[in-house]
Amino acid sequence: MKRNMALLGVLLLGISVFAKNENGYQSEEDSIECLKKFSLYSLNLKKRMYDYAVEPWNYMFTNCPQTSVKLYSDGIKIYHHYYSTAKTKLRKSEVVDTIMMIYNQRIQYYSSHPKYPEGWILGRKALDLMKYRRGQPQAVKDAYDWFSKSFELQGDKSEDAVLFTWLKTSKSLLDHGDLNEQQFLNDFLAISTVLDVQLAKASPKVKPRILKIRKGCEDVLIRSGAGGCGVVEPLLTDQFNADSENPDNIARILNLLDKLECNQSALYFKAVEKNYAISPSHSSAHHLAKMFVKKGDFTKAAEYYHKAIVICDDNEAQSTYNYELAVLEFAHNKNYQKARQYAREAISLHGDWGKPYLLLGNIYAAGSKNYGKNDFEQATVYWVAIDNFSKARQIDPECAAEAEKQIALYSKYIPDQETGFFHGLQEGDSYKLGAWINESTKVRFR
């Protein structure tokens, strides 16, 4: 008895739900028919029996459009299935047209829904259009307009997936000349600002997703080539000030500034110093070293290169730090012996890297003028320089062109055959250089 009463209650509730339409009230017969179709399609959709669900759903879509907002989300599910199973381009196109029609009718009847209003619907509509027609120029333009309208209506409540896809759509239009660079940057700044607001309010569970979306947006900006430092730096300054004790935030800002080549600003220097203060790693010490090089404070730069080397336990990174320190000692301090020491250390840590060998060649070539007692002895230093250029060419294809150029240059300054014979030397003889160079090489003549 109780079960029958419960079923009757459900039926009466269903009739009241289906009774009202835009013209007033349907007949009781029409309302019951809508209820029957609702029950039929819902049951079949739950069992993923789409071919049995679609006919009663279509009836409701046409005859009971104000039944429930669920009618529209269910319709999208049904036609997503039909898109995935469509065999021809024509059928796929027809299905997408139907999906767009479902969104349009949802806006017609449910644009003021408290949880899913027009702005939310437009965002989802644009997502689906980009999902199924992203290669069609007009579709991309339509989707961009819907994303923009959705953002205008939703603001801080915009879904992160909508924001990310809107920016990708903006970049697509930029790439094809249908959007100017300033508008793309405006879109990025608007989206980034909203993501920051959402991040500040996000729960620990949701925060990683928003961080991922924000990084994705920054990657789109970098790939676009439109990220002018003067536009991006004020935004990043706000982000820095809002979360300046968060090492992940500081590292992200530095990474973005580096990729955009915005590493001459006050913000960059401030972020580098903060990064080392809160996270004294070898990478943050390396950032500081490079910053002091840019400032022309080579003593401080060398100090932080040494700190980076001491902290670092990664051979390749440590090799890089030694190499850069060698360049500093060579180019700025003119300390050729120290420069050679660090270049050799770089080689010991990363033996198949050609750049330290190129540097060694240049160190010896530059130091030749201070070696020996005469022009001949100075010229022999170029044999050692060429040995290192040749080694760079041999082990590292990326250095081969530069090595060839240096070999051709300095081969003009090695001793000639007549001078070599005068000093009792033959082509191919072993020859030892002394003093600070202290290297063995082979005799060759120009």
Query: pLDDT, tens digit, for every residue of 357-385?
Result: 999 999 999 999 989 999 999 999 999 99
- What is the pLDDT confidence band of residue 8, given thresholds at 50, 70 and 90? very low
441 - beta bridge partners? 431
With 90 as the cut, is the pLDDT of residue 148 above it? yes
Q: Which two tokens stand for residue 198?
A: 């959402």
With 90 as the cut, is the pLDDT of residue 291 above it? no
- The full DSSP string for 309-363 is HHH---HHHHHHHHHHHHHHHHHTS--HHHHHHHHHHHHHH-TT-SHHHHHHHHH
Query: pLDDT, tens digit, for every residue of 269-279?
Result: 889 889 889 88
Beta strands in 119-194 (DSSP E): none
Q: Which two tokens stand for residue 183?
A: 């508008």
pLDDT, residue 2, reads: 43
Let me know: does 411 contact 393? Beta carbons within 8 Å.
Answer: no
Instruction: For residue 144, give every residue at least 6 positions away whose Cβ sits within 8 Å of its Cβ, in sequence order, or none.
Output: 126, 166, 169, 170, 173, 179
